[in-house]
Structures are given as C-alpha cells and as structure tokens.
Structure 1
Amino acid sequence: MLRSEAGVLNTHFRKFDRPMGLAADANRIAIGTEMQVVEFHNIPAACNRLQSSQPHDACFLPRVAHHTGDINVHEMAWVQDELVFVNTRFSCLATRSGTYNFVPVWHPSFITQNVPDDRCHLNGMAVRDGHVHYVTALGESNDASGWRANKKNGGVLIDVQSNQIAARGLSMPHSPRWYDGKLWLLNSGTGTFGSIDLASGRFEPMVSLPGFTRGLSFFGPLAFIGLSQVRETAVFAGIPIADLPIDQRCCGVWVVNLQTADVIAFVKFEDAVQEIFAVEVLPGSRYPELVNEDRELLASTFELPD
C-alpha cells in the first residue's frame, strides 16, 4: 500500500504467494495468488487495535479463501456483486464455486477446450455497464502456449458481448478499462498508455513510459499505471520495451493527468521490487491497513450480524 505518513510516502508491504490479480472497492479487496483467491473485508472497528504512529481509517481482514489450484489468476473485478476473474491457464473468464475449483463463464470463440494450456494468454478485463465487456489476450491461438509465436504484435482486444475481435496488432496488451466514456489500454510491449478507437480498432497512444505497463486504475482526471522492469527471460525477449537497457527500465507506479497527458508523479522502486501486476485506488481511504499474518488480531476480532 502506498500511503501518506507524516508528510512522506509510506510503502507498506504484505506477503502473499505469487500475487497477481487484484480487485478493490471501499470495503473489500480480493487478491489472486498462486492457488487461491483471498477476499478481505474492511472492519473499521479493528483500526483501534492497530499499533501505529498514525490513525488508520480502514482495516482489511481476511474473510474468504477459495482454492482454485494453479490457474494463473490474472485480472479480477466484482460484476453485479460476483467476483469474476481471468483464468489464464484455461483461457477463460471464471467465477468462484462452493463445489468446484472454478466455473468457466466465457471463453474466446477460437478456444475449443477447457484445458490448462495457456493458449492465448488471456489477461485483462474491462467492465462496462455492469458487465465484463472487453478482454485482452496476447495472441489469437488455440494451441498450447501458441501466443508466444507472435507476442511482439499479435495481441488482441476482444468484445465479450459479441465475441468478436475489436482490435488487433497490439504488443502484449494488458489492463483494458472503460472510464469516462473511453476504452483505455496499456500496450505493454511498447510501454505505452492510451485508448482504443472502437470504430477503427486503432490504438491511440497518449504517453510512453519507461517500463512494461501493466496495472491501471483511475481517480478523477488521474491514471495510476504500474510499470515493470521486465525480467531477462524468453517471455519478454523480442518486444520493443526489452530493447531498452536494463538500467533504463523502471518498476513502480506512474501517475498521468488525462487532461494534459503529463506525468505528474511517480513512485520508483530501485531495489528488490521488479514487477508490478495490478494497481487499484482505494477511494475514501488515506491510511489503510491489510492484515493477513497477525494471529493475535485475527484470532480475537469478530464480525457478527446485527
């Protein structure tokens, strides 16, 4: 969590097993990890029990842990109060179940089987008018790991409602978002942030940033964008951002003013942290806490119906 403490920036870390997907609103946070989706709820009364130099205004405690198996959970969102997540290994959108590891609810038209082959590397999702309306994938493939063959510019944006390709020729796209009447997108392989002209399917870049862009959230006229330094692996080889020298690739969160296209702030990690997957703004909270390992607090804090 990035938050202000006594006039300086406080970077507050919590440990999870391979965290990637993230969904958040004022009173709950869901985190997709290596084999679970864990949901935390805000319990304001617990703030008084936290030891801190500054009063907390939110305290998120674990409420539900759902075991998915290793499905490579990517982006997530609450849709009409149901948590929908991108199941990347099975190339589908899915929901939780009291009986099954997950329930597939949609897959691209070119995917023919529910198998853990990561065929197209489905990764991002955008909610519009109360439904998942768009998703991103790194390729248009029905073969196991087939997206890798043309990752430089084989990325696609898919209209979920029609199951048609809305844009092609993207470079490892991530984090589509419908905001303020436009469809925003991170063209991650080029390190750019911009929007999609839905009439033509053309990506219109707004700003180029010094890293692999992944993770996007908005607040007012501001866009908060995650940047990764990108690892020296075959996954990222051959994409434009990987051509930058490693010391010029950054990891952190950049803030862009949508009205001027200016970068107005950034948080840069220079050691230890090399990748950001998801970014979410917590509206209405300035100094939140998330507790996942304090056994004493978790064992003695209870929430009951009125």
Structure 2
Amino acid sequence: MSTGADRGTEVRYHHSASFPGVLEDAGCGLLVSTYQAGQLVAIGVADGRPSFSFRRFDNAMGVALGADRLVVGGKNQVWTLRDHSDLAPAIAPAGTYDRCWLPRSSVVTGAIQCHEVTWGVTETGEPDLWLVNTLFSCLAGLDETHSFVPRWKPPFISRLAPEDRCHLNGLAMRDGRPAYVTAMAPSDEARGWRAVRNDSGLVLDVASGEVVTAGLAMPHSPRWHEGSLYVLNSGWGRLERVDLASGQRDVVAMLPGYARGLAIHGHLAFIGLSKIRETAVFGGAPIAEYHDRLKCGVGVVDLRTGDTLATLEWETGVAEIFDVQVVPGARCPTLGSAEDEVWLLPSP
C-alpha cells in the first residue's frame, strides 16, 4: 500500500492483519515523528484500514500531547498545534476524522537538537512544558526572550556548552514532574559519548542525580507506567524494565529495529523502530549486525507477555522513527492538509 506524505512523495507501507484491530480495541490513535523524513504522522483507522495524515516539520523529533494542544520539536523551532477537533469531521474526506490539530505558532530555539518534549504540571497545576536540550546537555523550558531556559543538568556536566557532551535524549515524567532521563554516556567532554556509546548508556534519577541503571547501548525513551520504569535499550533493539532497587533490567521484548520512541497505553507498548544509518555513530551499534533485517515502523508489544501483537512497517519514504505518542479516545486523528489549507477565522 502507499500514501502521499507530501506532494510528489510516495510512502509505501504494509501492516500485520492485526494492526487496525489492535488500535480499535485499544481505543486510540497514534502520533509518530519521522526524523529523517521530516514528517509528523497521525495514524488511525477508517473503514477497517489504517489512515495516515502527514504534516511536514524539519527534523521532527519529540512530540508532546496536551489537553488542548500538541507540541513538536523540530530543527530550529518548537511548534505548537492547537486542538481543532470540532473541524475534524469536515476535513476531506468528510466524516473520516474525529480529532484534529493545526499549526498555530512556533518558538525559535536555534539548533539545540531538541529531542524529547513532554508536558508536566507546575505546583499550581498549570501545564508545564519540558524540553530535552541535547546540544547543551540539559533539561530546559521555553522563553519569549531567550532560545531556552536551563532547568536541570546531569551532575557530571560541569557547565552548559553547545557540545552535546553526553547525548541527553529522553525524559520520563512521574506525577507531573521530571523523574528519569537517558544519556548515552557520563561524558563531560564535547561529543565524548561517541567514543564509548555501546555500553556506556545510563538512566539518571533527576531528583538525586544518581545513576539508576547503566551499561545500556544508546538508550532512549524512558517511561514511568503503573509503578514501573521502562527504557529502550536502542542499540540492542530491546524494551527493558528497570528494577529501581538493584538497577537490574529485564528484557520485555526483542524488536527488529533500532528502538526509539515509546508510548504505553494500558498493557500495550507502542514502539518506534528504525533502520540504522551507516555512519560512525550508528553503524557500530550491536543491532547493526542485523542491518539487512531491520525494519522501520511501529511495533505493538503486550507488556504482560512480551509478545508482539501487531506491526506497521514503512518500506519506502521513511527510514527513521523518533517519537511515538498515543492519542487516547481517538479513532482517526488528522493534522489537516498541507495542500488544502485550512483557514481559522473568529466568529462574527
């Protein structure tokens, strides 16, 4: 099957027979960012078949879904799309969609390598956006005056510098506050993580700065869910569960791709899978040994059994996934149409 991700671009895909039914039974849609292809994709089900809606954002990485808005981290900007689900049924083909987000504004950050973005809450209960600022090795917030406002850095980072020292890349929230982060190495030198990335990855506790678990290969996407901490041991293509007391990890599932992007909904884990770029950074990852068998797409894993219940695979047009987010309660979400522009006017 194929669909157009952009005018003149063809994206070919296939999926397991179970994929539409898994989404329908879970009562959710998906948002998937495709870093290399520069697209955000909304995925749902229409007439028993997968539905795709594409919107271009250069170097689309982290995705944060809030109550009334959607935030996307891009190459030099952090974009905000507002929820306009009241318009969804009218977007062509009419009657297909039930959720909709449209771009409304952006904040220019410069090329800070903004990886994950996520919503928390302030002490007064207000929405609070957190960025993983990989270039400056810190967690940050947005500001109208500055490129970003530093809010936390690992204890081994001596100062903020645009040097990608440890490749801080993932953030898990717990009770609305930053709880755990992933980094590829405890390095305090410019791009020092690149020298030892295959067994130097770690998860840090934000509150204490202490190491929770170490020895991972290029970890990403830590997530706290129902009393457990999960992490993607990306270089090995594994979803793992972390024992907070001992730092030991159990393998929940093995995956046929570089695992990056994790969303958990009930007992289901939706995991982004990527092919490996043959570069000095990714070519040496342990999973690169299986380069010809790696897939790009989304795998759905049952956390109770470790079984893969469904898969979606892109064959052409998309080679790398960065983030995956669940849209609870959605049947068929859309990002509007970049070709058939939608104008929003105030009521008279």
- What TM-score do the two structures reach when normalised by structure 2? 0.83
Structure 1 contact 71–89 (Cα < 8 Å) conserved:
yes
Q: Which residue number corresponds to residue 55 of structure 2?
A: 14
RMSD: 1.6
Instruction: Tell me, yes or no, if structure 1 residue 301 matches structure 2 residue 341.
Output: no
Instruction: Specify the code of the residue in structure 1 equivalent to 2:268.
Output: L
Out of 17-26 and 246-255, give the one that drifted further. 17-26
Instruction: Specify the code of the residue in structure 2 equivalent to 1:258.
Output: L
Question: SS at 1:282's partner residue?
Answer: strand
Inter-partner Cα distance in structure 1 for 2:299 and 2:268: 10
Instruction: Tell me, yes or no, if structure 1 residue 120 matches structure 2 residue 166.
Output: yes
Q: Which residue number corresponds to residue 99 of structure 1?
A: 145
Matches for 1:54-93 after TM superposition, within 5 Å = 54-80=95-121, 81-93=127-139
Shift of 1:43: 1.5
Instruction: Specify the code of the residue in structure 1 equivalent to 2:87.
Output: A
Name which of 85, 91, 99 aligns with 1:50: 91
Shift of 1:113: 1.5
Instruction: Tell me, yes or no, if structure 1 residue 268 matches structure 2 residue 313.
Output: yes
Percentage identity across paired residues of the two chains: 45
Q: Which residue number corresponds to residue 124 of structure 2?
A: none
Corresponding residue pairs, total: 302
Instruction: Specify the code of the residue in structure 2 equivalent to 1:67.
Output: V
Q: Which residue number corresponds to residue 165 of structure 1?
A: 211
Inter-partner Cα distance in structure 2 for 1:286 and 1:69: 35
Q: Which residue number corresponds to residue 182 of structure 2?
A: 136
Inter-partner Cα distance in structure 2 for 1:270 and 1:26: 33
Instruction: Specify the code of the residue in structure 1 equivalent to 2:60.
Output: P
Name which of 281, 285, 291 aligns with 2:326: 281
Matches for 1:245-260 after TM superposition, within 5 Å = 246-260=291-305
Name which of 73, 88, 93 aligns with 1:32: 73
Inter-partner Cα distance in structure 1 for 2:55 and 2:153: 33
Instruction: Provide runs of 4+ in structure 1 moved above 4 Å.
Output: none
- What TM-score do the two structures reach when normalised by structure 1? 0.94
Instruction: Specify the code of the residue in structure 2 equivalent to 1:301.
Output: L
Cα distance change, pair 98–164 in 1 and its aligned pair in 2 (3 A): same
Inter-partner Cα distance in structure 1 for 2:185 and 2:222: 15
Q: Which residue number corresponds to residue 18 of structure 2?
A: none
Instruction: Specify the code of the residue in structure 1 equivalent to 2:149.
Output: V
Inter-partner Cα distance in structure 1 for 2:347 and 2:263: 30
Shift of 1:294: 5.5
Shift of 1:63: 2.8
Question: SS at 1:45's partner residue?
Answer: coil
Note the residue ranges of structure 2 that are not aligned, 5 or more in a row: 1-41, 122-126
Which of the pair has the greater relative contact order for Cα pairs under 8 Å at 6+ separation?
2
Question: SS at 1:132's partner residue?
Answer: strand
Q: Which residue number corresponds to residue 25 of structure 2?
A: none
Inter-partner Cα distance in structure 2 for 1:291 and 1:36: 20
Out of 139-148 and 14-23, give the one that drifted further. 14-23
Q: Which residue number corresponds to residue 196 of structure 1?
A: 242
Cα distance change, pair 240–302 in 1 and its aligned pair in 2 (3 A): farther
Instruction: Tell me, yes or no, if structure 1 residue 238 matches structure 2 residue 284.
Output: yes
Q: Which residue number corresponds to residue 23 of structure 1?
A: 64
Shift of 1:292: 6.9
Q: Which residue number corresponds to residue 260 of structure 2?
A: 214
Out of 56-65 and 288-297, give the one that drifted further. 288-297
Structure 1 contact 172–189 (Cα < 8 Å) conserved:
yes
Inter-partner Cα distance in structure 1 for 2:206 and 2:327: 27
Inter-partner Cα distance in structure 2 for 1:291 and 1:88: 30
Cα shift readout 1:121-171 (whole Å, capped 9, x = no counterpart): 000000012210000000100000000110110001100000111111111
Shift of 1:295: 7.3
Out of 218-227 and 1-10, give the one that drifted further. 1-10
Note the residue ranges of structure 1 that are not aligned, 5 or more in a row: none
